[in-house]
Amino acid sequence: MVEALKKSGKIDRKGPVVLVIMDGVGFGKYKDGDAVAAAMTKHLDGLYAKYPWTKLKAHGLAVGLPSDADMGNSEVGHNAMGCGRVFHQGAALVSESISSGLMFQGKTWKNLVANVKKTGGTLHFIGLLSDGNVHSHIDHLKAMIEEAKKEGVSRVRVHALLDGRDVGEMSALDYFDPFADFLKKLSTDGFDARIASGGGRMVITMDRYNANWDMVRKGWQTHVLGEGRQFASAHEAIETLRAETGAIDQDLPPFVIADNGRPVGTIEDGDSVILFNFRGDRALEITKAFEAENLTEFDRVRHPKVEYAGMMEYDGDLHVPRQYLVDPPSIDRTMAEYLCASGVRQFSISETQKFGHVTYFFNGNKTGKFDEKLEEYVEIPSDIVPFEQRPWMKCADIADRVISEVESGKWDFIKLNFPNGDMVGHTGVFEAVVCSMEAMDIQIGRIWDAVRAAGGIMIVTADHGNADDMYEHGKDGSVKTRADGEPKSKTSHSLNPVPCIICDDAYNGEYSKELKEGLGISSIATTCITLLGFVPPEDYDPSVVTMN
């Protein structure tokens, strides 16, 4: 429990403070490939021209990642915005646990290793095979496999998901081929390690927010049952499926590795399974498939009795999974909790793809509300279609509801997430991303009209970049091209800063219009608290606003 915030007595507005999070929208480093700059965004342009704004850091150390070479992501971004401080995040925590040896000294690791040594079973690893460092890192996987061999495990199987989203869209073989060689060289002295199955991350296994459980069903069918199209190697599977489908890595169909028609790595009774992704949102559903006694979302056909563990605890309130290798960051005293303690009425909304980010992640990885009487959460169901086919997504629906809530006068603080820049940005389709930005811009204009009429303040920001960097660039800044001469698409997040615009037509000199520079997005929490008229917690990161 936290204590109520003290009123500052320095600012008071008739209407609410509305926090608009443009997911995946930053300031591009290059003109070519910057879909944000290429879009016709007259409303945002008008806000930049009239109101004070600054740039915020949204990657690397500013959001708790290991280094400034690490791009930000929606999970850590919303954690930082919601708690007002920077905590070491998944990638850094896992790396520290492995390098110190603490992971391998822990009860969970010892339990999973002891299980397969006792039963003669297989140690399975499921996860994203890349160095994107957003959901996983290949080095973590390699370290665990090496340790498993050292500790006497005889057989390892890897169920490897293709990334093409946090790394290059067609970079899978840059990871799969060296990794297959790594496993082959390690497979000596009675140790047998192989890739057993795979598929694109946006096709199988890694669904989130219950948006499309059929992805999880396909993953279960592929990894556990070993059912699906068979290939002799992952290399053959990737090359063949690319040629047949024309799909980028994240969208490749599932595949099973087989010898003489028999899958090399089905998951059986007595096996141990590690989901080596450390990020929680796309880990919860496959975890439920392994742990639930009675699963209603799909027919598992069979439910093997295994020792299952996640890389981290993906839900600290529900304690999911039951076993995990690394403790997640312990985030406490979030902005939402302070506001509830202070009697502030709060409304949070997004569509399915980012609903958990303005609720669960924003609240410090906490499921549920701090106060049922003061908070309302609304989820607009996302379309289940490729995002490049519906680049506007549900931004108009979100805006409709936000405008209604602003006009109702029921809320002191409203926060929303427009997923367009991130979800469409990940497709790599430049024209679709431009369309998504223009659709979002229209809705931001509508929301600002309502907030201004209500006498409120609108803060426009983002959690990380993506749509601002849609082409691969060389070290000299030139655009990389494909064999056909077209620009090579970039589907991952960027390292670019993001905006923070303070839109306040009722401004009466209460604060300086010269906003602070060089801050990270963790400053958003203090900024919101300050503009709501409260004194922020002393250990929160500074606000972009300096009160007069």
Neighbouring residues of 182: CB distance < 8 A, sequence distance ≥ 6: 142
Q: Would residue 171 show up in a list of annotated catalytic residues for this protein?
A: no
CA–CA gap between residue 355 and residue 362 (Å, rounded): 10
Report the C-alpha gap between 241 and 227 in whole angstroms: 16
Catalytic residue among 74, 350, 489, 543: 74
Q: How far apart are CA 20 and CA 86, in angstroms?
A: 21
| First CA to last CA distance, the chain | 31
Q: Per-residue b/e over 278-314, b at no fewer than 16 CB within 10 Å? A: bbbbbbbbbbbbbbeeebeeeebeebbebbbbbbbbb
Cα 9 from Cα 4, distance rounded (Å): 15
- Note whether 354 and 208 are within 8 A (CB): no
- Determine contact, residues 429/489, Cβ cutoff 8 Å: yes
Tokens 């003669």, located at residue: 120
73 touches 493 (CB < 8 A): yes
**Helix or strand or coil: residue 437?**
helix
The DSSP string of 374-410 is: TEEEEEEPPP-S-GGGSTTTTHHHHHHHHHHHHHHT-
**Residue 371, class by beta-carbon neighbours within 10 Å (0-12 exposed, 13-18 middle, 19+ buried)?**
middle
- The CA distance from 132 to 139, in Å, is 11
Going through 163-231 in order, the beta strands assigned E by DSSP cover: 192-200, 230-231
CA triple 224-227-230, angle to 5 deg: 120
Type of residue at 516? K
State both tokens at 248.
């980028």
- Number of residues in the chain: 548
**Could you give the residue numbers annotated as active site?**
74
